[in-house]
Amino acid sequence: MAKFDVDSIKEDFPILKTEKEGKQLVYLDSAATSQKPNQVIDAISDYYRTYNANIHRGIYEIAEKATEAYTDSKKEMADFIGADSYEEIVYVRNTTEAINLVALSWGERNIEEGDHILISEMEHHSNIVPWVLLSKRKKAKLDYIKVGDDYKLDEQSLEEGLEKQPKIVAITHASNVLGTINDVKAITEKAHKQGSVVLVDGAQSAPHMPVNVSDIGCDFYALSGHKMLGPTGIGALYGKSDILNSMPPIIGGGDMIRTVEFYACTWNDIPWKFEAGTSNIEGGIGMRPAISYLKSIGMQNVFEHEVKLTKYAMKSLSEIDNVTVYGPEPDNDCHAGVVSFAIKGVHPHDIASIFDNYNVAIRAGHHCAMPLVTQILNQSAVARMSFYIYNDEKDIDKAVEAINEVKRIFKIK
């Protein structure tokens, strides 16, 4: 693809042609899950139609083909995020499972009573709850980096957190509510100086910007396939090979072992050690064309496109009275893809319902970041639009139209 051409991208996404009462779907909820291009849908159906077989075991041709396709997908993924090899890519269900795997395996072995765990106030529940559970089990201390008035991580609070020499620092790369992009490379450098292990929640970065885990230097990186054009039920945990090698498995069964005796077993190599039982084969196979699609556009182009849309949306919304936008100014590449907002006097769920009437899909709620929304933004819920490669300014104009309708219904100036 030479130039970023939204119209031709839209062509690849059949769902965007669907209509409700003559209105075409405008999908502004890609932070929740992305839509899927034909290439992904076809790859999955092709697998089931022509080479469905279990992986790793069969000696026959279609089984070999399935095994190769699944492994190739990991190779693509490793290349996509800058890992050294596919052995560093564990396929899991989603970001949530990836983070829980780290907490249950690495955390269980390395966290002791009185140790500190450092996360931030802008985390998604999936990067809070596993650490709450772990810290309770181990009587460890869970500390939070504060979010400042500029909707960014507070530098001083970060320094204070790191001074306590946390065993692990787990931080989101990009916030699913504020759109804030954190400088995870700088945070990783500082954290490593304190001897901390670093996990980056990449659920909102892998789909939307160039990511290179080797450059960031983090020890773990978690992502969800369904947010980056892939199918649901597949996600990845990247871990540096030495650290993955040192970790015990948390689920036992087929495929994750090398030998099994009645009272003893030895583990398979990474990454298979962490993938017990039959894998989500269609999911892995569906990831490959998803990644190829993004690569063919180029992640820098994806990012610039979203920054452009974010700027346009923030400007459009800031011109409407009684609308509040939450998130940093999208200037210095510190905000992308997500615009959370509120309309004075209207509950966000009512906003989303009225948007639905225009067949414009947005999200309303606490966005699985209750501490951030309720305690930092002081809202019970906010409305959020989020963008991807198939969105354009016209989609945002439709959202603005819907906002005006909300204001008309609720008689707001």
| End-to-end CA gap in the chain | 44
Is 133 exposed, middle or buried, given 0-12, 13-18 or 19+ CB atoms closer than 10 A?
middle
Helix (H), strand (E), coil (C) string for 115-157: CEEEEECCCCHHHCHHHHHHHHHHCCEEEEECECCCCCECHHH
381 binds, among another protein, ligand PLP, none (CB under 5 to 8 A by kind): another protein
Least distance from ligand PLP to the Cβ atom of residue 1, Å: 26
4 is a contact residue toward another protein (CB under 8 A): no
Q: Which of 121, 201, 306, 392 binds ligand PLP (CB under 6 A)?
A: 201
CB of 283 to ligand PLP, least distance (A): 12
Residue 257 C-beta: closest distance to ligand PLP, Å: 27
Cα distance between residue 205 and residue 137, in whole Å: 30
- Least distance between ligand PLP and beta carbon 179 (Å): 11
Out of 34, 73, 96, 391, point to the residue binding ligand PLP (CB under 6 A): 96
> What is the full DSSP assignment across 73-125?
HHHHHHHHHT-S-GGGEEEESSHHHHHHHHIIIIIHHH--TT-EEEEETT--G
By CB under 6 A, residue 176 contacts ligand PLP: yes
Out of 357, 361, 371, 400, the only residue in the binding site for another protein (CB under 8 A) is 357
Interface pick for another protein out of 31, 291, 346, 372 (rule CB under 8 A): 346
Contact indicator for 16, 10 with CB cutoff of 8 Å: yes
Which tokens hold the place of 282? 């269609």
Q: For residues 73 and 172, which CB has a smaller minimum distance to ligand PLP in the complex?
A: 172
Going 371 to 375 to 379 to 382, the CA torsion angle's sign is: negative
For residue 162, the surrounding DSSP H or E stretch is helix 155-163
List 3, 49, 411, 413, residue binding another protein (CB under 8 A): 411
Which DSSP symbol is given to 225? G
356 touching another protein, by CB under 8 A: yes
Q: Which is nearer to ligand PLP, 31 or 323 (CB)?
A: 31
357 binds, among another protein, ligand PLP, none (CB under 5 to 8 A by kind): another protein
> Among 218, 265, 334, 368, which one carries the catalytic annotation?
368
User: Please, which residue, 98 or 346, has the CB nearer to another protein?
Assistant: 346
Q: If binding is defined by CB under 8 A, does position 112 make contact with another protein? A: no
| Sign of the torsion angle spanned by Cα atoms 265, 271, 272, 277 | positive
Which residues between 365 and 384 bind another protein (CB under 8 A)? 365-366, 380-381
Q: What, of ligand PLP, another protein, none, does residue 305 touch, CB below 5 to 8 Å by kind?
A: none
Site for ligand PLP in 212-251 (CB under 6 A): 224
368 part of the active site: yes
* Residues 6 or more apart whose Cβ sits within 8 Å of residue 225: 94, 231, 232, 233, 234, 235, 236, 283, 286, 287, 290
Number of H-type helices and E-type strands within the chain: 15, 17
User: Cis omega before residue 271 (within 30°)?
Assistant: yes
**In contact, 239 and 219? CB cutoff 8 Å:** yes
State the residues that interact with another protein by CB under 8 A: 346-350, 353-354, 356-357, 365-366, 380-381, 409-411
Which amino acids are annotated catalytic? Answer: 368
State the residues that interact with ligand PLP by CB under 6 A: 31, 94-96, 124, 126-127, 172, 176, 201, 203-204, 224, 368
